[in-house]
Amino acid sequence: MESDYVHIEKLRLKPVVGPDSWRRLSPQDCVATLQMRTNFEKASENDDLKYSLNYAVISRDIEKYIEPFKNYWSIGYLNRNLSNYLVAKYPGIQSLILDMQTRSGHIRSDDIRAVVVSQKNIDDEIIISNLKLLTLIGVFTFERLQKQYVNFEIRIPWPKKSREHVPYNDVIDNVVEYVENSNFKTVEALVENVAQVITQIPYFIDHPKLAITVKVLKLNAITSTDGVGVSCTKSAVDFVKKQPIGKTGGHSSMRGFDLPVDSQAVKITKSNTAIVAFGSNVGDRFENIKSAIDILDAHPSVTVMAVSSIFESEPMYFKNQSLFLNGCLKIQTNLNPEDLLKLCKTIEYENLKRTKEFDNGPRSIDLDIILYKNSDGEDILLTTETLTIPHPRLLERSFVLEPLCELISSEELHPVTAEPYHNHLSQLYGQGNEEDFLWKLVPLPSIGKSKRFLKFKNEVQHDLVTGSPITRTVSSTYIMGILNTTPDSFSDGGIYFESIDKQLDKVKIMIDDVLRLFDYLIIDIGGCSTRPNSEQTSSEEELKRTIPIIKAIRKDTGIPQERIILSIDTYRADVASQAIAAGVDIVNDISGGQFDKSILSVLAENPTVAYVLSHTRGNISTMNKLTEYGEPSDDTNISEFLHGRENSDSRTSLIRNVGRELAERYEEAISNGIRRWQVIIDPGIGFAKNPRQNLEIIRQLDLLKNYSCTKDGSFLNFRNLPILVGASRKKFIGTITGDEIASERDFATGSLSASCVGNGANIIRVHDTKGCSKSIKLADALYRRL
């Protein structure tokens, strides 16, 4: 079969092909492109034009064919007549594809084409291209608040036997009116609805099997492309069972964010789950938040199930105001969204006396419903004059997304974007805006009018090997200095026993050592040795050893109280309770609540006291016999993630077991009323671990920091939880360095402490505050670029 062709590209013509852009019967700017199949073998052999199609002659002939001011009614009619004329006049044309384009056929499209094929078995086609319209479409806030351009291409078959004109002007008019008054989340819905609108035009009703193809591109969706979109091919038959579409796309007159929802799909049940975001930047910010949560939890129709960490953030939109404290809480409720909103507003304006001078301005408390699910786990989408769910600005606010991602699985999808919330947060951080990176706050008891917090700042970076997102600390490390008031401590037993003056002298030396390099010092006071196999003193004796020095420190006016954070090293509830009353800020419990479960209730009653939840196994006498960490037990109901991805590598079995067991202790702490913002985790170096395991845990602290698991549908992660490491002077260090005397292990402790900082530790517990503070300061400069 011959495959020789002669081409004429974009021959400019001025025919009258029906009404022009201004509905006048005037000549239009048209171009014709011809592809003529022929056989020019003889012409090429003889190099003689008479044996081929003369494109110059044919071009002049086409120009002569167009009669001035004659109305050819449509570009299709002209094209078909011209094609028949050329095929009849020039026998050398074996077949012809004639593409005729008008650039002025309609004011909204400069590309209306008729493509006529001379072969009888191939239908002709009318093509409308570059139909560029403004509409409201998309799922992101900026898309909901401003229209954007979409570009349509519509291809309409024109059967050879048809003598009717394809009403392309009617098609354009109907599409323009519909699209520019439409409101869609997805281009998929838009394109199919446009196809239905076209098939409702009388011409297509008369030709119900005529399959049109509609393609739409969003021009501004992805900046590195010319457009992204979808297409579909439909006929009137495909829409027989559907309700006819009106000329407008349902775009309401509502001001602001207008998310289209299917009201028939909203199924509110008796037991629903909602995520409520909170924020405060006026007055006692933490107390405002705590009060709002307590009032919500006390309501008979609401149960607070989980509360996120608390974050400090820069104000958005209106910058000239104080920093905010933000977070999220997960509740169970039988209130519908509108009634829940009313309750939130009552708490804001009546209970906590919020005043609102203008949008996004200062506020004592702000409670926003950001997500709502029914008992079947189905997302409820709402758009009313007073409430939009999901919250319209959710995806542009790290101070909402970050705490939200503490409460939900990494796989949970935004109901509109169909993309995981964690992905949206990574994309937000990926923009590199400094204000998106938050300070995680651990509230501490106030001293006078001074509100105090431990502060940690993280950034999300990406693993160079896997590309997985990893949370890394970029804020200064806290040093926790050890003050043992026992006669039997493994490293300094008896030195400070029974002498308050010696204890205070030690405290002041630690203060001088640390505060010249760091802003704060944590002092961990222990009155009962917790080394493996040690004899445990009574609760009464522990109280005698610890409470007096706590009171003495807090009464000493020469000590910079606001910069000194006191910790009690105890696993006993009564000791913790009295120590809190005496002025401690942290309870450091090596058992994670296992030795005395009532300690959890003490911490729940004191939400401004931090809780170091440590990992161990067994008890003081048995823990060092429980060091077998094989693969985690086979449990089909649990999945674990490290670095944001499932990881079953045997090298991570130890850290996964530690993570799982810490997660169990964390769950019990939370179920007993402790808030997430109180929790600091400690992997328990030296407790139920052998020397190799201690080192392995230190190597993989960043894995522990990013640990998460899902069990029986319940999700838990350690995202943003600070990590404390206490390896100071421990025996495994001496095993490596050959230092049998504990006090001679300080230099090695400093080196190990620096490694812990590099691997993500937030608090380092040490005996030698002078030497270790220097090592840690250097590690901060090296790893955290401070």
Query: Does residue 423 sit within a domain?
Result: yes
Number of domains composing the chain:
4
CA distances from 615 to 530, 588, 719, 786 (A): 13, 12, 17, 30
Q: Which two tokens stand for residue 693?
A: 């395991």
Percentage of residues of the chain with pLDDT beyond 70: 89
CA distances from 383 to 328, 366, 368, 390 (A): 21, 20, 14, 9
Q: Do 520 and 622 share a structural domain? A: yes
Query: Does residue 575 sit within a domain?
Result: yes
Q: Do 251 and 327 share a structural domain? A: no
Dump pLDDT digits (tens) for 89-108.
999 999 999 999 999 999 99
Q: Do 248 and 275 share a structural domain? A: no
Q: Do 304 and 247 share a structural domain? A: no
Give the domain CATH number at 49: 3.30.1130.10
Report residue 299's pLDDT band, with 50, 70 and 90 as the boundaries: very high
Largest interatomic CA distance in the chain: 121
Q: Do 271 and 185 share a structural domain? A: no
Query: Does residue 468 sit within a domain?
Result: no
Q: Do 496 and 365 share a structural domain? A: no
Q: Do 518 and 370 share a structural domain? A: no
Mean pLDDT of 28-35: 96
Question: Last residue of some domain: 122, 157, 180?
Answer: 122
Least confident of 144-153, 534-543, 583-592: 144-153
Q: Do 771 and 673 share a structural domain? A: yes
Q: Determine the pLDDT at residue 247.
A: 64
Query: Does residue 456 sit within a domain?
Result: no
Q: Determine the pLDDT at residue 637.
A: 63
Q: How far apart, in whole angstroms, are the C-alpha atoms of residue 233 and residue 422?
A: 35
Q: Do 183 and 221 share a structural domain? A: yes
Q: Which residues pair with 184 in a beta bridge?
A: 137
CA angle 591, 597, 598 (to 5 degrees): 130
Q: Are 200 and 246 in contact (CB under 8 A)?
A: no
Q: Are 431 and 442 in contact (CB under 8 A)?
A: no
Q: Do 108 and 26 share a structural domain? A: yes
Q: Determine the pLDDT at residue 574.
A: 97
Give the domain CATH number at 363: 3.30.70.560
Dump pLDDT digits (tens) for 496-513.
566 898 899 999 999 999
Q: Residue 333 pLDDT > 70, yes or no? A: yes
Q: Determine the pLDDT at residue 345.
A: 95
Q: Determine the pLDDT at residue 3.
A: 78
Q: Which of 219, 207, 333 is nearest to 270 (CA)?
A: 333
Q: State CA 561 to chain mean position distance.
A: 39
Give the domain CATH number at 516: 3.20.20.20
Query: Does residue 443 sit within a domain?
Result: no
Query: Does residue 451 sit within a domain?
Result: no
> CB-side exposure of 373: number of CA atoms within 13 Å?
15
CA distances from 375 to 92, 274, 334, 372, 447 (A): 74, 11, 10, 10, 44
Q: State CA 593 to chain mean position distance.
A: 33
Residue 241, classified by CB atoms within 10 Å of its CB into exposed (0-12), middle (13-18) or buried (19+), is: exposed
Q: Are 299 and 276 in contact (CB under 8 A)?
A: no
345/433: higher pLDDT:
345
- DSSP E strands in 281-423: the ranges are 302-307, 310-313, 324-333, 366-373, 382-383, 388-389
- Those residues whose C-beta lies under 8 Å from the C-beta of residue 530, and which sit 6 or more positions away, are 569, 571, 590, 620
Question: Last residue of some domain: 415, 437, 459?
Answer: 437
The pLDDT mean for the chain works out to 88
462/401: higher pLDDT:
401
Question: Last residue of some domain: 66, 97, 122?
Answer: 122
Residue 8, classified by CB atoms within 10 Å of its CB into exposed (0-12), middle (13-18) or buried (19+), is: middle
Q: Do 650 and 508 share a structural domain? A: yes
Dump pLDDT digits (tens) for 220-273.
766 678 889 999 999 999 999 899 988 655 444 344 455 665 544 557 778 899
CA distances from 176 to 183, 198, 250 (A): 13, 11, 14
Q: Which amino acid is at 149?
A: Y
Listed ranges 71-75, 294-298, 433-437, 712-716; the one with the highest mean pLDDT = 294-298
Dump pLDDT digits (tens) for 740-781.
999 999 999 999 999 999 999 999 999 999 999 999 999 999
Dump pLDDT digits (tens) for 443-484.
999 998 889 999 999 876 666 666 666 667 889 999 999 999
Q: Determine the pLDDT at residue 252.
A: 43
Q: Which amino acid is at 52?
A: S
Q: Determine the pLDDT at residue 495.
A: 64
Mean pLDDT of 168-172: 94
Q: Determine the pLDDT at residue 39.
A: 87
Q: Which of 554, 555, 492 is nearest to 523 (CA)?
A: 554
Query: Does residue 514 sit within a domain?
Result: yes
Residue 175, classified by CB atoms within 10 Å of its CB into exposed (0-12), middle (13-18) or buried (19+), is: buried
Query: Does residue 756 sit within a domain?
Result: yes
Q: Do 135 and 112 share a structural domain? A: no
Q: How far apart, in whole angstroms, are the C-alpha atoms of residue 436 and residue 426?
A: 11
Dump pLDDT digits (tens) for 601-633.
999 999 999 999 999 999 988 998 999 987 665
Per-residue DSSP letter, 351: I
3-state secondary structure of 732: helix
* Domain region containing 426: 266-437
